[in-house]
Amino acid sequence: MATFGQADDLRGAEFVDADLRGARFVGADLTDVVMRGVDVLGAEIDSPWLFDGDRGLRVNGINVAPFVDAELNRQFPGREQRRAGDPAGLRAAWEVVEGAWARVLERVAAMPDGTVDKSVDGEWSFAQTLRHLVHATDVWLGRAILEREQPFHPIGVSYDEKPSLTDNPSYAEVLEVRAGRVAMVRDFLGTVTPEDLATVRKNPHNPEIHVTTLHCLHTILEEEWEHQRYAVRDLDTIEG
């Protein structure tokens, strides 16, 4: 099977009558890709950035992004609050996030031993997903908002990190650190003011770009809901 990576420049490539059945695109940039007369039955697209901007995703001439967004809100009640713009709304949004994750944790606790370390299709295990959320909190609250010089807990997993499934801390430790980060967000939101939300901070991934504290909090909420979606998807697969 042919494999293409970063060294292969496929921009503007044209595939005519090509058989791409079973092909897998991971981390690929498919912006402005045009598909005409294609058979996409059974195809699956997962794009966490689908709702960024207003360009959306068009299928048979219809922008399906709003429908996908609405359906995700139905499946994950409270997700629609992730773009709250005032302190009270953000506190309510975070309370919903905490409740949603509590239910997922209860579900996992009732599943067979070892479930938290199972990987589906090479994705992060459940424990690794929680570790990534630790890192995301450290990036956007610890580094960006609180401007701490060293905000990172060693248990955290960054976006592009692929930790070994055999080189993990205990699940109990993961839960403890994760609970601490959840509380850290809760405590910050407990005292945040409208003026705080408008405060400008450096983008932790590119210090030359400036963002507001509200933007950072929205990013944290997006991370929480997206990774809960991934976790639930994989738990469904494991149970099935």
pLDDT at 165 over 70: no
pLDDT at 163 over 70: no
pTM of the predicted structure, to 2 decimals? 0.89
The 8 Å CB, 24+ separation contacts for 116-121 are 116/171, 117/165, 117/168, 117/171, 118/234, 118/238, 119/165, 120/233, 120/234, 120/237, 120/238
What confidence tens digit (pLDDT) does each residue in 38-50 have? 888 888 888 878 8
Per-residue pLDDT at 40: 84
pLDDT at 76 over 80: yes
pLDDT at 27 over 80: no
Under the banding of pLDDT at 50, 70 and 90, the label for residue 166 is low
Closest CA to 189 of 145, 143, 228: 145
The Cα-based distances of 6 to 11, 32, 46, 121, 162 in angstroms read 11, 18, 20, 21, 18
